[in-house]
Amino acid sequence: MARVLITGAAGNLGGKLVAHWRTNGIHELVLLDRAGGADVIGADISKFESSWVERFSGVEVVVHLAGQISPASKWEQVQPANIVGTANVLRAAREAGVPRVVFASTNQVMGGYRFRTEQIRSDSPPLPLNPYAVSKLTGEEMGRAFAAETGADFIVFRIGNIWPGENLPGPDLGIGSWGQEMWLSNRDFLQAMDGAVAASKVGFGIFNLVSANPGMRWDIEPARRVLGYEPQDGNAPVYTPEVIAEDERARKAVLVPGTWLDQHSRLLDI
């Protein structure tokens, strides 16, 4: 059992993770979310305030899920939530001596690989295409500095498409074949989080986190090797006429944040 603090505990990923760990009863949970709630501490992480910072005391693992999550977000939305907020979470973790932080990044950091052919590895050069992806890449690099400075672990998950609720895969979400290749099932996400808490010393590590989807180019072997990730699910892309048309539209699109992406705001990956 570990004392685990979760930011964004009332969100899509946070809600699934809290329910999973409560059912198993394996961790003592400290829950933070901007919305607050009956057993969730209200916390605006864009402001460094003692009301939530003091909750980091005695925590062994921070799972940082909070932030602005839409690839259609503009810079003025992601800057306070994802950059200032992550800096504040790391400052709180540093001051409290937290030995491990798990960071929810995104496959969007590698968005420029969509119409290329090579394998997408954890150490492939990042190619973000929108402010959201840039903000998450910035968070990764802040974590790299945090790990180097403190000696703590900083585990980056570049998380794929995991929808609210039952989270079934399929071609009818308007996300093309690329979005289908990034599908991450609920149980694979939860198993990866279990591994991130239980793993031995990691240092700084970046891990692609998707299910074992046939035909995908995402390299998940480092997550298997280091964190014991064993995905149980996978779904090959289905190429309906609508999916093919979406792929063609994306191939021809000029990616100007706030225009094309606004029309595809269902590309929510975390």
pLDDT digits 0-9 by tens, 179-228: 999 999 999 999 999 999 999 999 999 999 999 999 999 999 999 999 99
Task: Give the largest Cα separation in the chain, rounded.
Answer: 54
Q: For residues 25 and 14, what is the distance between their CA atoms, to the nearest angstrom? A: 16
Question: What number of residues does the chain have?
Answer: 270
Residue tagged 């009818």 (tokens):
172
The residue ranges of every structural domain in the chain are 3-264
pLDDT digits 0-9 by tens, 40-67: 999 999 999 999 999 999 999 999 999 9
- Give the percent of the chain with pLDDT over 90: 86
Q: Report the DSSP pairing between strands 153-159 and 100-106.
A: parallel
Residue tagged 């295409």 (tokens):
129
Say what the pTM is.
0.92
Q: For residues 8 and 65, what is the distance between their CA atoms, to the nearest angstrom? A: 5
Q: For residues 116 and 235, what is the distance between their CA atoms, to the nearest angstrom? A: 21
pLDDT at 73 over 50: yes
Mean pLDDT of the residues in the chain? 93
Distances in Å between the Cα of 202 and the Cα atoms of 34, 40, 45 are 29, 29, 26
Q: Tell me the fold of 3-264.
A: Rossmann fold (3.40.50)
DSSP, residue by residue, 101-137: EEEEEEGGGGGGGTT--S-B-TTSPP---SHHHHHHH
Q: CB of 236 within 8 A of CB of 214?
A: yes
Q: CB of 135 within 8 A of CB of 66?
A: no
